[in-house]
Amino acid sequence: MKISSKARYAIQSMLQLAMQVDNKPLTLADLTQQQNISSSYLEQLLASLRESKLVMGVRGPGGGYRIAADLADISIADILMAVHERHLTRPKKSSYGISIYNDMWWDLSESIQNFLSDISLADLMDREDVQTYLHQQRLFKDMTSVASQAEKQRKRA
Amino acid sequence: MKISSKARYAIQSMLQLAMQVDNKPLTLADLTQQQNISSSYLEQLLASLRESKLVMGVRGPGGGYRIAADLADISIADILMAVHERHLTRPKKSSYGISIYNDMWWDLSESIQNFLSDISLADLMDREDVQTYLHQQRLFKDMTSVASQAEKQRKRA
DNA sequence: ACGATTCCCGATTAAATTAGTCAAGAATAA
DNA sequence: TTATTCTTGACTAATTTAATCGGGAATCGT
């Protein structure tokens, strides 16, 4: 099965953002480093994600992009729709003469849609290795925050 | 969710073929009439489907295309793979340094793949309205075959 | 064997989408 | 204020999708 690389970039970016401890922003540069893609192109994709209110941009030093909604409320379908706009919708039943093949097609297409709508970012993160990874990140963050506290103490003295 | 129109054409064609009573061949012209698409383009898609052994061509008058396997053995994933070749495969775990985002991506991608592999043409046809339609087609065919028998009788006399 | 039908094959072109690049501007933290 | 970082828009290149054309090969009915 081929999924467009556009979709892959978008989803991978969302995953990276989703995994940030405390939803701390990631810069475009941060995001681009993981995937090998030009930053200006990824920027365009992020713009789409922003328009769809899936991420938000934070300007200035320390800024970047962060997730703009609850992880359980963002589905794979949402992400795909955000980046490849222009999605067709099922014609009204009334438009007469629509063939049975057409009906079958739309049914299929809707079940794919539903499947993808059922997978949230939260679901994807609910895996053992991911959780372990996140746990480590948090530990690391605590350590460094303790260290910086100590540092401030030291300077003050 | 956007599915490429290439995929849509392929799936719709397969559906049309699948619904033929007695797997009687449909010509390119028959297939193109339902969808609005150029016949030469559809021909290219059918060539891919043929290479993947999903359909077979029958030349000469009365010929056309017909399904080349059991309907229960042809999945949506098979059809998609046939028309957009060039499908990536998950990198070996050994290639070191592969990120956790990458793992998550491939897991997702595999679950989509599995989902699509689980939907066969037979499944899609297992719907009440489709069955009713097929039933009517068969009745019609019986009627006309009886009529043509009668016709032959008449000529012979 | 002939003629009509229909798939088969290759090359070529056009349109659409995806991917990448560049440059100037606006917000913000330190 | 200055460095950082997103924002915006326009433009180009590469790739994929869609369409077109022409001739060839198999097969059916007569």
How confident is the model at residue B148, as a pLDDT?
A: 60
Q: With 90 as the cut, is the pLDDT of residue B47 above it?
A: yes
Q: Check residues A90 and A4 and name the one with the higher pLDDT.
A: A4
Looking at residue B52, what is its pLDDT? 95
d(CA B3, CA B16): 19
The CATH code belonging to domain B5-126 is 1.10.10.10
Q: Does residue B48 carry a pLDDT above 90?
A: yes
At the top level of CATH, which class does the domain A5-122 belong to? mainly alpha
Tens-place pLDDT, residues A88-139? 677 666 555 567 888 888 889 899 999 999 999 999 998 888 888 888 888 8
Across the interface, do A116 and B111 touch by the CB < 8 Å criterion?
no
**Using the CB atom, is residue B5 less than 7 Å from strand C?**
no
Residues of A in contact with B80 (CB under 8 A): 1-2
> In this structure, what is the dihedral angle of CA atoms A149, A150, A152, A153, given to the nearest 10 degrees?
120
**CA atoms of A30 and A92, how far apart (whole Å):** 45
Least reliable range by pLDDT among A70-74, A131-135, A147-151, B28-32:
A147-151
**CB–CB of B34 and A130 under 8 A?**
no
Determine contact, residues B22/A112, Cβ cutoff 8 Å.
no
Task: Please name the residues between 46 and 105 in chain B that touch chain A, using a CB distance below 8 Å.
Answer: 76-77, 80-81, 84, 86-88, 99-105
Top residue of A1, A14, A120 to mutate, by most chain B CBs within 10 Å, is A1
Query: Cα–Cα distances in Å, from B87 out to A62, B5, B52, B73, B78?
Result: 38, 17, 14, 20, 12
Q: Cβ A112–B108 below 8 Å, yes or no?
A: no
Tell me the CA–C1' distance in angstroms for A44 and C20. 11
In chain A, where the domains are located: 5-122
Instruction: State, as a whole number of angstroms, the distance between the CA of A15 and the C1' of D14.
Output: 28
- Model confidence pLDDT, tens digit, residues A27-81: 999 999 878 788 999 999 999 999 999 999 999 999 999 999 999 999 999 999 9
pLDDT for residue A142: 75
Distance in angstroms, CA of B127 to C1' of C19?
Answer: 42
Taking the CA of residue B151 and the nearest CA in chain A, the distance in Å comes to 32
What is the CA A49 to C1' D20 distance in angstroms?
A: 39
**What was the pLDDT predicted at A67?**
97
Please state whether strand C lies within 7 Å of residue A60 at its CB atom.
yes
Nearest residue, CA→C1' of C21: A40
Side chain identity at A44, as an amino acid letter? Q
pLDDT grade, residue B34 (50/70/90)? Answer: confident
What does strand D contact on the protein, if contact means CB under 7 A? A 25-29, 40, 43-44, 46-47, 50, 56-65; B 4-6, 9, 37-38, 40-41, 43-44, 58-63, 84, 86
Tell which strand D nucleotides have any atom below 7 Å from a protein Cβ: 3-10, 16-22, 25-29
Average pLDDT over residues B67-92: 86
Instruction: Name which of A66, A70, A60, A76 is nearest A46 in CA terms.
Output: A66
pLDDT band of B101, cuts 50, 70, 90? confident
B151 pLDDT higher than 80: no
Could you tell me the pLDDT band of residue B97, with boundaries at 50, 70 and 90? low
The C1' atom of D10 and the CA atom of B14 lie apart, in whole Å, by: 43
